[in-house]
Amino acid sequence: MKIFTACLGTETHTGAPLPTDLAAFESSHLVRGGAHGETPHMFGAPLVLWRERAAAKGWDVVEGLSAFATPSGLVVRKVYEDLRDEILETLRAAMPVDAVILSLHGAMVADGYDDCEEDLLLGIREIVGPDIPIGAEYDLHCHVSRRFLDDLNALVIYKEYPHTDFRARAEELWTIMQGAIENRIKPVISAFDCRMIGLYHTTREPMRSFVDRMTALERTERVLSISLGHGFPWGDVPAEGTRVIVVTDDRQAEGDALAEKLGRELWNMRDEITPRYLELDAAIDAAVAETAGPVVIADMADNPGGGGPGDSTFIVRQLLQRGVGDVAVGGIWDPVATSICVGAGVGARLSLRLGGKTGPSSGEPLDLDVEVKRVLREHSIISLGGSTRYMGDAALLHANGMDFIIHEARCQNTMPDFFESFGLDPARYKILVVKSMQHFHGGYAPIAARIIYCAAPGTLTWDMSKIAHQKIARPVWPIDADPWRGNVERPW
């Protein structure tokens, strides 16, 4: 047997200011020929796992490109086409293969391509023909189109947000694909469109119980996998939306019924599962008023994991204006300021213009008199599930009673290692400011006295009805108050 694997992904915020270029992949994850290193990137880790499982069966594996970019705006057309063509060329050279297994994100949009995954899959299907099983693992912030499912045999999506289960889902997909390759099972996919968009934290009820229920239902005989594709509300494409996916062993009707049942349950919970955010002033008031520490202020609007540049200054400016000290800011993306501080070296004191450079959604730059406390070159940090994220050159600065971590490569703060790797103890501060929507939660909840989800101005608007949408298939809640009225078909 011979298996072909590959990874290609990013999560495209179609309104974000920065285009996703080749450097965005190179500075995040770009591996050829399976050279993943000891601690693979989160999206490369499934390929390593599938290689090990295949080796245990004595099967050959050809590993294509493995590439992921920290989310930004539209992927540059030629960049997408080159990466896609490289995967297809490797596959062509590897033919004949017995299966294809892909680690994808599911929300990659390029200039001229609303659904890169659908386009890539179409190319793969053309090469392998109709009878070879193809399976994919998706991030739960994905756009699942009907056409994508038509060409696919198995889809398994992360269940957890923060995404701590990428290895468990890769294992699950392998089990299904192995059964298909050995002709023991015939996976078929059922899908139900919930006609809604939103962001749902699986760390809170009632989402927590919904995820647990999906897992419990998977233990029934013919159900191979149940997933919820939450969707990515800042990617304006026709297939945007929340979908339940059920993979059964050749039980299409049963799968369809189960997907619809779960989807309607979720629809009925829509108000409860929508997170609550505090506006900027209220968030700072609440953080300052809290007597215990640390208070974690999550700057969801500038989350680099969702297309925010990572250089907005709104929260820090408020803290500075109010004279709040004992704060650690992790971090501010500013390659120019970082290179200045790296060049000046540890102990240097200088006037620095920091952050606020990408555009109006980043606010105004901060002018600070800083002391460079530490410099780390080509730095990587421990992220979700023991994976790594690249920060590039980075510096720890002190100014106005606050500590700042500034860095060269865009990088979300997902774990306390973001601070700890600079010798800081995040638990000792009154306030921690992290640029993250929800991935920080697993690592910071154990040390936080309080977590505040702050709706500061920025690239990611929390109010789904206020995000600029033109391409999304309608009707869909909350853009349309009742998308089920008259049962108008939603073309996704």
In the complex with Zn ion, the residue whose CB is nearer, 141 or 410, is 141
For residue 252, the SS3 value is: helix
CA angle 155, 158, 164 (to 5 degrees): 150
In angstroms, how far is the first alpha carbon of the chain from the final one? 35
In the complex with Zn ion, the residue whose CB is nearer, 128 or 434, is 434
Rounded to a whole number of angstroms, the minimum distance from the CB of residue 274 to Zn ion is 17
Structure tokens at 294: 């640390």
In the complex with Zn ion, the residue whose CB is nearer, 84 or 141, is 141
Rounded to a whole number of angstroms, the minimum distance from the CB of residue 140 to Zn ion is 6
In the complex with Zn ion, the residue whose CB is nearer, 178 or 387, is 387
Distance (Å, whole) CA 297 – CA 454: 6
In one-letter notation, the amino acid at residue 97 is: V
In the complex with Zn ion, the residue whose CB is nearer, 141 or 407, is 141
In the complex with Zn ion, the residue whose CB is nearer, 139 or 193, is 139
Neighbouring-strand partners of residue 279: 455
Structure tokens at 51: 């290689």
Residues that bind Zn ion (CB under 5 A): 139, 141
Rounded to a whole number of angstroms, the minimum distance from the CB of residue 69 to Zn ion is 14
CA 260, 206, 461, 198: dihedral to nearest 10 degrees? Answer: 0
Distance (Å, whole) CA 480 – CA 464: 11
Rounded to a whole number of angstroms, the minimum distance from the CB of residue 412 to Zn ion is 10
Rounded to a whole number of angstroms, the minimum distance from the CB of residue 68 to Zn ion is 12
CA angle 66, 122, 161 (to 5 degrees): 50
In the complex with Zn ion, the residue whose CB is nearer, 158 or 418, is 158
Q: Cite the DSSP H helix spans in 218-334.
A: 252-268, 270-273, 280-289, 314-321
Rounded to a whole number of angstroms, the minimum distance from the CB of residue 200 to Zn ion is 11
Neighbouring-strand partners of residue 104: 8
Rounded to a whole number of angstroms, the minimum distance from the CB of residue 239 to Zn ion is 16
Residue closest to Zn ion when measured from CB atoms: 141
Distance (Å, whole) CA 110 – CA 468: 18
